[in-house]
Structure 1
Amino acid sequence: MRMFTALELPERFADDVSALARRLEAVVEGRFVPREARHLTLAFLGDVPKADALVAADALEAACAEVPRIPLRAAGLGTFGRQDDATLWLGIARSPELEHLAARLRKELAARELSFDGKPFKPHVTLARRARIPRGNLPPLPFPLANQAETATLFKSTLRRDGAAYEPLRSVRLVG
């Protein structure tokens, strides 16, 4: 079972990200991620035996215990990959709360001997895949207003021809 943990985007922030994505769709070719699939990945576990889903859920709950809501502030656009075949993303500003949660979650996963992608944490929300970024300046863009993430979730990810489908397995509310 393919799994990852992520912060869910609060409603208003998700609306603002959608407005940004719509503006980008006018100038960037690519496969834009649907609103309901946008999130901020904390740790990607990859293919994990189904029995380990409960262990991963326990790690998420332990990592989120007594953790406050996480500030979300847009920090510009970025890409992974080549200009003509990129993953386009909205950067999220690093904060002590976000860094602490990501590190704590990775520690809890490691303590339970669950493997995960150990690349350095890069807070972002994927906007488009297979994007072809135009040369030159982009038009003025409506970046999201600051907000706070209230929910961390363990997701099952199923790859399909039209993109991945995500199913929440366990969600944890962060304290106010």
Structure 2
Amino acid sequence: MRAFIALELPADFADDVAAMARRLSASLDGRFLDRSTYHLTLAFLGDIDDAEASRAMDALDAACAGSTSVSLASDSLGKFGCPADATLWLGVAPGPALLSLAERVREELAARDVPFDPKPFRPHITLGRRVHISKKPLPPLAFPLPAQVQTVTLFKSTLSRDGAEYKPLYTVELAEPNL
């Protein structure tokens, strides 16, 4: 199965991301993703078997043990690929708690021999695929307000002609921060 570990976005933050994507889709051609698919990937595992999925769940428990919620603050727009056929994304500021959580997830996966993509962690939320980014100015955009994330999930990803479908396999709730 194809899998990844990601932060699930709080509803208000996801609503703000969706509003931004709608504004962008009015100016840019491409396949913009449905709000229900928004997430922030901590580690992409690729194709794993059931035993590796079980070890990934153990890694998730270990990585999140004692962790409190993570702050998300959007800070930019970016793209992967060429302007004529890009993946458009919303960048998220790499705060210390977010970077630490991503590092712990990857360390725990490695300790359990669960394969994952070793590319450096670049926090982002994918907004659209196959987007044609022209040189004309973008419309005024309201970036999402910062939010606290408490849900880390191992997802199964099934690809189809209509896009990817994500099914949660295992979820860990991060603790509320002590104020």
With normalisation by structure 2, the TM-score equals 0.97
- Per the alignment, residue 97 of structure 1 pairs with 97
Q: Deviations over 1:22-72 (max 9, x none)?
A: 100100111111101110000000001122211111111110111111100
Does the CA contact (< 8 Å) of 1:27 and 1:134 recur in 2?
no
Q: Structure 2 CA distance, aligned partners of 1:139 and 1:114? A: 42
Q: Tell me how far apart the structure 2 counterparts of residues 160 and 21 of structure 1 sit (CA, whole Å).
A: 22
In structure 1, the partner of 2:127 is: 127
Q: Separation in 2 of the partners of 1:50 and 1:160?
A: 21
Matched, 1:118 2:102: no
Per-residue CA deviations over 1:133-154 (Å, capped at 9, x if unaligned) read: 1213211001100111110000
Contact 1:7 1:40 in 2 (8 A): yes
Task: Identify which range, 35-44 or 130-139, moves more after superposition.
Answer: 130-139
Q: What is the Cα-based RMSD across aligned positions, in Å?
A: 0.6
Equivalent residue letter for 1:29: D
Structure 1 counterpart of 2:174: 174
Other structure's SS at 2:77 match: strand
Dislocated runs of 4+, deviation >2 Å = none
What residue number does 1:55 align with? 55
Helix, strand or coil at the partner of 2:138: coil
Q: Does 1:86 align with 2:86?
A: yes
Question: 1:3 deviation in Å?
Answer: 0.4
Higher mean displacement: 51-60 or 82-91: 51-60
Residue 155 of structure 1 aligns with an amino acid whose one-letter code is: F
Aligned residue for 1:88, secondary structure, equals strand
Q: Which residue of 2 aligns with 1:67?
A: 67
Aligned 8 A contact 1:31 1:130 in 2: yes
| Segment drifting more, 4-13 vs 128-137 | 128-137
**What are the ranges of 5 or more consecutive residues in structure 1 without an aligned counterpart?**
none
SS of residue paired to 1:82: coil
> In the alignment, is the contact (CA less than 8 A) between 1:5 and 1:153 conserved in 2?
yes
State the partner residue of 2:150. 150
Distance 1:56 1:172 in 2: 12
Count residues in correspondence: 176
Partner Cα distance (1:78, 1:99) in 2: 19
The residue identity in structure 2 corresponding to 1:63 is A
Higher mean alpha-carbon deviation, 152-161 vs 44-53, is at: 44-53
- One-letter code aligned to 2:35: R
Q: TM-score, normalised by structure 1?
A: 0.98
CA–CA distance in structure 1, aligned partners of residues 50 and 127 of structure 2: 29
